[in-house]
Amino acid sequence: MSTVRQVLYGIALLGALALLIWCQELRIAVADKNTELAGKDVDTAREEAGRNLITANTLRTALQQERNAQADLRTQQDLLRQGLAKRDRSIEELKRENSELRDWAAQLLPDAARRLRERPALTGADAYRQWLSGRSAVQHAGNSTKR
């Protein structure tokens, strides 16, 4: 091999080595960029997970409060049912003991009282408001003449 050839091979070898190093530099730069993007994605995911955890804890607290409120309402409802049952038993006992009260309870309600208890089937607050505003005044039961 001649010296020129050896120099040309050396230059070609150095060029190939430089090209290889340049390609590796590009790969490293791309990998660094991907690592940076992945780090940002991880940070974003952690922030979102933190927000989701806060939301989940808030919802869990609200759910527990709701369950406690429902339990309180059920307890109150049971107490009211017991009181109603006791009142009904007392009324029945009084009816059995007192014939005058029994006769009074068996009578029909007066017309004025019956009209107070009449209600159409209502669906919603708006229908109830319209029904209330459309009603005529209850007539005086005792004296129907005007003075």
pLDDT given at position 121:
78
- Report the domain count for the chain: 1
In a domain, 134, yes or no: no
In a domain, 14, yes or no: yes
In a domain, 125, yes or no: no
Would you state the structure tokens that stand for residue 87, as one six-digit string?
A: 């009142």
Q: What is the mean pLDDT of each run of 10 residues along the chain (147 residues)?
A: 87 94 95 94 95 97 97 96 95 86 83 77 83 65 50
In a domain, 140, yes or no: no
pLDDT given at position 35:
95
The CA angle 19-23-28, to the nearest 5 degrees, is 145
Per the structure, the complete domain to which residue 22 belongs is given by 3-105
pLDDT given at position 63:
97
> How far apart, in Å, are the Cα atoms of 18 and each of 9, 21, 30, 79, 83?
14, 5, 18, 90, 96
pLDDT given at position 146:
46
Of 89, 69, 88, the closest CA to residue 77 belongs to 69
Inter-residue contact 95 to 102 (CB < 8 Å): yes
- pTM of the full predicted structure? 0.46
Distance CA 100, CA 68 (A): 47
Residue found under tokens 């080595």: 17
pLDDT given at position 47:
96
In a domain, 141, yes or no: no
In a domain, 36, yes or no: yes
In a domain, 136, yes or no: no
